[in-house]
Amino acid sequence: MTELLREEREGVLFLTFNRPDARNALTFAMYDGLKATCEGIPKNGTVRALVISGAGGRAFAAGTDMAQFRTVITPQEAWAYEDRIDGVLSAVEACPVPTIAAITGACTGGGAAIAACCDIRVADGRLKFGFPIARTLGNCLSAASLARLTALLGPGRVKDLIFTARLMELEEARAVGLVTDSSPDPLARAAEMARAIGGHAPLTLRATKEAMRRNAAATPRVNDRDLIAMCYMSDDFREGMEAFLRKRKPEWKGR
């Protein structure tokens, strides 16, 4: 099965995470494919918008596939993982055309980070958005990812989501501006919005996106290597992975 589907229709590129049996949990190949897609979109006007969705009707994407974490056994590998994710999210932000996330159901972890980097988010009534890592894995988000989320949701709400490990539902997501629109069929609504946006001046849209990206990038980067190593090298992270795979509650030790 192809893990990432691409189809272009009427000037709109549709990119679909295609691992429905795994709730579209993201492999490195899927991350890399998303990055390559965003970086490879032509600037000649043939593609006017990008719509990202998940196959199967249950999830947009339920975070990074657990098997990908098996390779993280040194601080350098932990840093490389977070750098890789940052590169993907940066590519989504720098995509030269408007990006729309069509979200059905679960949108967590890496999937939530991708959706948060899109320009517009459309969701259905089953939305579950968040980063429940304090309850599940015991790893952490990079400072760059936290900065993105804070710009979108504010520091208080980001702390609330991560500290409580809860998942935001549609009504709250609309109230705080996370979700732009809702529909029983987010993909159809996203396609409709993409076609409408595609009829507008592409250079105006591109300049607006890039200027806003540069504004955000003007903030100095924080050195978070020690924090990433602390979490990913911990006994708690190994315990979190094993507990997740065995479908039991982890026993945290704080070390």
In-domain check, residue 180: yes
- Per-residue pLDDT, 147: 95
Bridge partners (DSSP) of residue 108 are 62, 130
> In whole angstroms, what is the distance from residue 111 CA to residue 17 CA?
10
For position 42, what pLDDT does the model report? 92
Answer whether residue 252 is part of any domain. Answer: no
- The per-residue pLDDT for 220 is 82
Contact criterion met (CB below 8 Å) for 186 and 124? yes
| Cβ contacts of 68 within 8 Å, gap of 6 or more | 26, 27, 28, 81
Q: Confirm whether 230 is domain-assigned.
A: no
Q: How many domains does the chain have?
A: 1
Provide the CATH number for the domain around residue 63. Answer: 3.90.226.10
- Residue 137: which domain range? 4-197
How far apart CA 11 and CA 249 sit, in angstroms, is: 47
pLDDT along the chain (255 residues), means of 10: 93 97 95 97 94 97 87 90 95 97 97 98 98 95 95 96 98 96 97 96 95 89 93 93 89 93
Tokens 């990202």 found at: 52
Q: The whole model's pTM is what?
A: 0.95
